[in-house]
Amino acid sequence: MKGYRKYFTKKIIWFFITLFAAVVLNFALPRLMPGDPVAMIVSRVAQGINDPAAIRQMFESYQERFGLDRPVIEQFFIYVGNLLQGDLGLSFSRYPRPVADIIGAALPWTIALQLPAILVGWLLGNVLGALAAYIRKGFDKTLMPIMLFMGGIPAFGMAVILLAVFGITLGWLPVAGGFEQGLIPHFSWRFIASIIRHYHLPFWSIVLISIGGQAIGMRSMSIYELNADYVKYSRFMGIKDRKIVGYVFRNAMLPQVTGLALSIGGMVGGALVAELIFSYPGLGTTILQAIREGDYPLISGTALVITIMVLLAVFILDVIYGFIDPRVKATQYD
Amino acid sequence: MGKIMLEVNGLTTKYITRYNEDVYAVNNVSFKVEEGRSVGIAGESGCGKSTLALSLMGYYFAPLHYMKGDIIIDGRNISGMKPDDVRKNILGSEIAYIPQAALNALNPTRKVIKFIEDVVRVHNPKMHKKEIYDLARERFETLNLPAETLNKYPVELSGGMKQRTVIAISTILSPKVLIADEPSSALDVTSQKMVIKMIHDLMELGYIKSMIFITHELPLLYNVTDDIMVMYAGQVVEYGSAEQMVFDPLNPYSKGLMGSILVPEDGTRDEKIVAIPGTPPNLKNPPDGCRFAERCKYAKPHCRVYHVELTELSNGRASRCITSEQELREAYKNE
């Protein structure tokens, strides 16, 4: 157990080092973008005002309020200091709404869309891939080209196809938004039904793509494992085929678990395309707006959420992987 | 003469390749193994040794297919049985197998004892975990394997330990016939010795009643088995006691095989290495007549025409050669 504690400590230290590097980048990158956010706000607010002095004063007062008149290093320490207190700052573009508030409103939509989609796509893909490897013959030969096709379509392509076919040509499902326009979010059957109807297209556009990729990966892993020496030996020791298939798929699943953890971690970034195409009110849409308007705090805030989710997913994976694969555990103890 | 544990009559099996060609890797093989005795099978690679081992289990999966012949274990003919009956009643308990690549023979994510539970439960589905553990621990301890091995994953064992663990698992149900396919080939000499000792112990303690040991290392066979059978191109070419086969091989192929052994004596470094020229024939289209004729330095024109059967000689030996014993001995003497 001592070796494991050492491994665990090392992983925690690395977690914080990467987190720090990410915070620095999150702070720096938006500020390297072209365009002056304050000028953007002022030009919006100052429409109709012609007095240059008044505009200048407005500009300076905004700069002071956002702290952009101070040296960059000082801004950084203020940013980190606020972060440690859990304060992500105020949004520039939706001033004076706090960034945490904006993220808090968008995140549930993203998670509710992505998490089930990733899990369903992962499960279906793995089951189909495993079956293709085990049954072979016609099933494999018809399924695999379909999977390759689905896995090969870029995310936006799949979303646009679904949108065109089911949303526009057939007109079965609404093409945009998280719920019917004009409805006020509240707890009622009508509102829930509306959410579910709007959910279908973005959900399936994500599921279909991940099924393809997962099935292809699982199929190759399963074929590899099915030909392993232990399969032959287990057969000759009289063990039932069904039990051996259990051994094989458990082992073939292991690399797939890594893929699952990474897609859950990268969920927010992965949501971008589906959310944008279907104008879904999630974090992806928020990020795009923030970038368009040079909203430093909001960009940093959303990027931080993404970073933390990816880092956490990798960290959790590192820690639990040893329990699901004894070969990895052996290296953790070293 | 002891009780016959394994009797094989005219066993023929074939591989069907991806292009639907038939490859008869085991062709009309017959032999007997008595209780308490062991038979070694020797030959170059590609001669059908390993395929014979697989074929003897009576449990076939593609690309290997059963053609004809009988496999009789302790009076019970298993070659006509349904695959599922063979699996439940024969494999592991009557006839057991140690694979060629024993280093990868265990599922890497399953503890040794868990796999033993799976094996034992094929035959005794109701057996309690505790009983299986006790059986396994007792067996491991008798065979000088640490009992802690049971609670380990295969990755935590060294190569030699893994091999001995596989042997202990294969024989946990005390099979009547053990088929060991090159069990020591991938090991260093110390581990090799331990494996051989373990197999000796298994025989002596009666955990196995007879054994077939396959290897390409002829000196090893002389130390391990009572009889030796030499295979070439899917056929048995010579059969005899280990003593006879090593010191007095009669068939030109066996003679060549024994002659190729490098003995670390003075002068070995400077001597020309003797080997059988050429390679074994392609079994998709085996040659007419004697299959070895192409490479045999004693071959005569009629060797390539007439089919030869394995013929019994004196002292319980048998050889497959059209040239008579006297003629061959003459030829060997004149070298």
Question: Is B110 part of the contact surface with chain A (CB cutoff 8 Å)?
Answer: yes
* Phi/psi at B305 (5° precision): -105, -50
- Whether B170 has its CB under 8 Å from any CB of chain A: the answer is yes
* Residues of chain B neighbouring A237 (CB-CB closer than 8 A): 91-92, 96-97, 119, 122, 169-170
- Give dist(CA B332, CA B298) in Å, integer: 9
For residues A131 and A133, give the distance between their C-alpha atoms in angstroms, rounded to a whole number: 5
Least confident range from A47-56, A277-286, B198-207, B247-256: namely A47-56
What are the structure tokens assigned to B233, written together?
Answer: 């191109």
CA distance A190 to A323: 45
**Contact: A251, B107; criterion CB under 8 Å:** yes
Asked if residue A120 has pLDDT above 90, the reply is yes
The C-alpha atoms of residue B26 and residue B49 are separated, in whole angstroms, by: 8
pLDDT tens digits, A258-298: 888 888 887 777 667 888 888 888 888 888 888 887 787 88
pLDDT above 80 for B274: no
How far is A212 from chain B, CA to nearest CA, in Å? 27
Q: What is the arithmetic mean of pLDDT over B292-308?
A: 84
Taking all residues of chain B, what is their mean pLDDT, rounded to a whole number? 87
B191-240 pLDDT, tens digit per residue, is 888 888 999 999 999 899 999 999 888 778 888 899 999 999 889 999 99
What's the whole-number mean pLDDT along residues B116-127? 89
Collapse the DSSP code of B15 into the 3-class scheme (helix H, G, I; strand E, B; otherwise coil) and give the result: strand
Model confidence at B158: pLDDT above 80: yes
Q: Which helix (H) or strand (E) holds A209?
A: helix A189-226
Cα angle A323, A326, A329 (rounded to 5 degrees) comes to: 70
The arithmetic mean of pLDDT across residues A182-187, rounded, is: 67
Least confident of A15-29, A238-252, B219-233, B279-293: B279-293
State the SS3 of B139-182.
HHHHCCCCHHHHHCCHHHCCHHHHHHHHHHHHCCCCCCEEEEEC
pLDDT tens sequence across A127-176: 999 889 888 888 888 888 888 888 888 878 888 888 888 888 887 777 77
**Domain map (residue ranges) of chain A:** 2-84, 105-333
Check: CB of residue A202 under 8 Å from CB of residue A113: yes
* pLDDT higher than 90, residue B116: yes
Which has the closest alpha carbon to A22: A254, A320, A269, A310? A310
Q: B83: which 2 tokens? A: 């695959």
Neighbouring CB atoms inside 10 A of B2's CB total 11
Tell me the shortest Cα–Cα distance from A201 to chain B, in angstroms. 40
Q: A250 touching B, CB under 8 A?
A: yes
Which SS3 state, helix, strand or coil, does residue A176 take?
coil
Give the least confident one: A178-187, A213-222, B2-11, B312-321: A178-187
Looking at residue B186, what DSSP letter applies?
T
Question: Checking DSSP bridges between strand B311-312 and strand B38-42, what pairing results, if any?
Answer: unpaired
Cβ atoms of residues B63 and B49 within 8 Å: no
Write b or e for each residue in A220-237: b if 16 or more Cβ atoms lie within 10 A of its Cβ, otherwise e.
ebbbebbebbbbbbbbbb
Kindly state whether B65 is in contact with chain A, defined as any CB-CB distance less than 8 angstroms: no
Q: Do B155 and A330 touch (CB under 8 A)?
A: yes
How many angstroms separate the CA of residue B31 from the nearest CA in chain A?
Answer: 22
Q: Is the Cβ of A230 closer than 8 Å to some Cβ of chain B? A: yes
Contact (CB, 8 A) for A267 and A309: yes
> What's the rounded Cα separation, in Å, for the pair B58 and B13?
10
Q: Provide the pLDDT for residue B136.
A: 92
Q: How far is B332 from chain A (nearest CA, A)?
A: 43
Asked whether the beta carbons of B321 and B290 are under 8 A apart, the reply is yes
Chain B CA closest to residue A229: B105
Q: Kindly report the CA angle at A165 between A163 and A169, in degrees rounded to 5?
A: 110
Mean pLDDT value across residues B311-318 = 84
pLDDT of the residue at A262: 83
Q: What per-residue confidence (pLDDT) applies to B95?
A: 92
> What pLDDT does residue B259 have?
78
User: Which residues sit opposite B228 in a β-bridge?
Assistant: B40, B240
The CATH number of domain A105-333 is 1.10.3720.10? yes
> Using CA atoms, how far apart are residues A301 and A310, in angstroms rounded to an integer?
14
CA B8 from chain centre, in angstroms, equals: 13
Measured CA to CA, the distance from residue B149 to residue B162 in angstroms comes to 9
Q: Which of A230, A238, A247 sits opposite B88 (nearest CB)?
A: A238
Q: Exposure pattern of B142-175 as b/e (b: 16+ CB <10 Å)? A: ebebeeebbebbbbbbeebbbbbbbbbbbbbbbb
Burial of A245 (0-12, 13-18, 19+ CB in 10 A): middle
Per-residue pLDDT at A134 = 86
**Domains of chain B: which residue ranges?**
251-333
Interfacial B residues in 200-259 facing A (CB < 8 Å): none
Q: What residues of chain B lie within 8 A of the CB of A228, using their CB?
A: 104
Q: Which pLDDT does position B271 carry in this prediction?
A: 66
Q: How far apart are CA B317 and CA B311, in angstroms?
A: 9
Nearest residue on chain B to A238, alpha-carbon basis: B87
How much is the mean pLDDT over chain A?
A: 82
| Complex-level ipTM | 0.87
pLDDT score for A255: 86
**Strand order across the B210-214 sheet:** B95-98, B177-181, B210-214, B38-42, B227-232, B235-241, B318-319, B311-312
